[in-house]
Structure 1
Amino acid sequence: MTEDTHAQVRERPRGETVSIGELSRRTGVPVRTIRFYCDSGVLRYQRSSAGHRIFDSPAAIDRLLLVRRLRALGLSLTAIVPVLEGSASLGDAVAAERAALDTELDTLRWRRAALLAVESAPVAQRPQRLELLAAVHDRGAVLDTVVDFWRPILAPLPREQFDGFIEMTLPPLPSEPDPRQVVAYAELTTLATDTQVQTAMAQQIWRSDHAGIRDRHHLLTALPAAYEVVAPLVTANETPRPGAELDQFVHAHATARRERDTPQFRRRLLDGATDDDPRLRRYWRSTAEITGPEPTLGAIYYWLIDALRVTA
């Protein structure tokens, strides 16, 4: 049915009725589909004296054409009915469908990258890679797992700063994720569900004598400033060394413990630390695969610890 024909239909006087067959002919919608729409409450109709369905011609045609066009774009009847009833605008319905499609596309891209990650792995490693990736088929669950991992470690941190930390260490995947990034997410998820890794990470962040910290909030708010001044040195591949950057890091720990920065204190920051735990290094390497060229918190942390070893 052309737009000109549609315009002619609109010009017909109100009150004209058509049979279901005529309605099908004018709109191109099969009779069986029209019956389904009637039974679903999408189309209004009356019964003739002979018991046949009859429809108000202008209203029924306009309504049925709108349904057909929206269905062609993939909208469900559940989304279409509010538009027909006037409780939702056409723009809102289309925007909601587009948003749902974006989510679906993100899911498909994640699955595609995961399949490529298995396909590109050496033959002998494919079963292990498949097992790893099967555990993270839901990308939303990955974020929840990592949040649950860090929340008790950074417990004193205010909500806004905690969210900023998560965003920095686990940014959203790009629209076209690389298979290596999906594998990195899977690695992080596996590590984040290990309570021993969580304990080791807490010890790395708070250092070995974390029980003696009197002001955790101060430490967690002071450390980011120390990390910020070290980041350019890591980016430039500067060799870890003593200096103002390390002093700022140590001072944050000393202040939080109500102690002075002394050689003995610096040695204590290294005693019993978990920095060489291979699982923590895997965690930060996986994070680096996701964050890209920017230095990760782990890279900054290891630079500071290596500089601390020089002085201690």
Structure 2
Amino acid sequence: MWSIGELAEHAGVTVKTVRFYSDRGLLPEAARSAGGHRRYGPEALDRLRMIRSLRTLDLPVPDVGRVLDSEDALEDAIAGQLRELGSQLAALRWREAALQLLQDCTPEERAERLLLVGAMTTPPDTAPMARFWRYWLPARLPARLVSAILERAVPEPLTDPEPAHVLAFARMHALVTGSCEGNGRPRSEAHRPDGDYRPAVLYEGLIEAFALASPDLQAGRPPSEGDALDAFVDAHARACGARDTPAFRHRLGIMLAAEPRIDRYWQLKAELSSPSSEPTPGAAHDWLHAALDAQLACRVAA
């Protein structure tokens, strides 16, 4: 049997360290001396070395206890540490990119950018973007449809951002958390829930139309007639309880007014996407709107 001092000497640690782990139940004593002093067997040395190895990996003391009691707990503890380390590294990369953004800009830009960057967390929190869309979207949309829209609309923070990504995210954060003029829901007439308007029909149809337009957008083709435009117009017509007629297309061209706040959001979302990413719904909407305008112009000219 070893005394607490002898165990500390064999392990190359202080008596205080041995007492700390003993008091927390990680290092059970084998016996007590006649004077009430702790005594440890040789197996305590191996256990103490294991404790120190786990603590070197920054495992919290409760996790160390679980690993010592069950070998299966080690895998979960390692996975948890890797997740935490990944979050810390992501935060450091975002902080580095933010500092580079401030370092590389002109003195005139620095004050504004400092306020923008300082208003968001690193890595950025996407909850404000999700709240923005939940507020802007019609209240009667099914939950599955809202989830599908949020999946396309809310950007995921990049793991290795560039300074330009930090600026785009900061501007998006400022956009969605800033005050909204008017009624707070700046929609064009085509998206307002008036009368017999059925928002679920519209947004489901728009998802289909955007998917049909995506190949043309990715190929860089100019806006034109086709299945994508027909699906786009049909979605608006069915949502309003109308039919797709030349008269309706003319009226729809007037109804599709610009929505500056939403347009700006999609511009920033595109800046956060890789060049190979699928076009944003905003880009698809603009392409289809331009295709409708071109068709209407041709009919007037004819």
Instruction: Tell me the TM-score normalized by structure 2.
Output: 0.86
Cα separation, 2, equivalents of 1:198 and 1:289: 28
Residue matched to 1:223: 206
Residue matched to 2:99: 115
Q: How does 1:12-161 map to 2 (within 5 A)?
A: 17-45=1-29, 46-58=31-43, 60-86=44-70, 89-139=73-123, 141=125, 143-152=126-135, 153-161=137-145
Alignment counterpart, residue 252 of structure 2, candidates 269, 288, 294: 269
Alignment counterpart, residue 291 of structure 1, candidates 273, 280, 287: 273
Q: Which runs of no fewer than 5 residues in structure 1 stay unpaired?
A: 1-16
Pairwise CA RMSD: 2.6
Question: Per-residue deviation at 1:228?
Answer: 1.0
CA contact 1:82–1:88 (8 Å) conserved in 2: no
**For the structure 1 residues 164 and 199, does the alpha-carbon distance in structure 2 shift closer, same or farther, using more than 3 Å as the test?**
farther
CA contact 1:208–1:269 (8 Å) conserved in 2: no
Question: Per-residue deviation at 1:82?
Answer: 1.6
Q: Which runs of no fewer than 5 residues in structure 2 stay unpaired?
A: 297-302
Cα separation, 2, equivalents of 1:275 and 1:135: 28
Code of the aligned partner of 1:47: R
Cα separation, 2, equivalents of 1:199 and 1:231: 32
Question: Per-residue deviation at 1:86?
Answer: 3.3
Percent identity over the alignment is: 35
**For the structure 1 residues 264 and 202, does the alpha-carbon distance in structure 2 shift closer, same or farther, using more than 3 Å as the test?**
farther
Cα separation, 2, equivalents of 1:234 and 1:275: 20
Question: Per-residue deviation at 1:199?
Answer: 6.3
Code of the aligned partner of 2:3: S
Please give the per-residue CA displacement for 1:26-45, whole angstroms capped at 9, x wherever unaligned: 22222221122223332223
Q: Which moved more, 1:187-196 or 1:127-136?
A: 187-196
Question: Per-residue deviation at 1:245?
Answer: 2.3
Equivalent pairs counted in the alignment come to 292
Cα separation, 2, equivalents of 1:171 and 1:233: 23
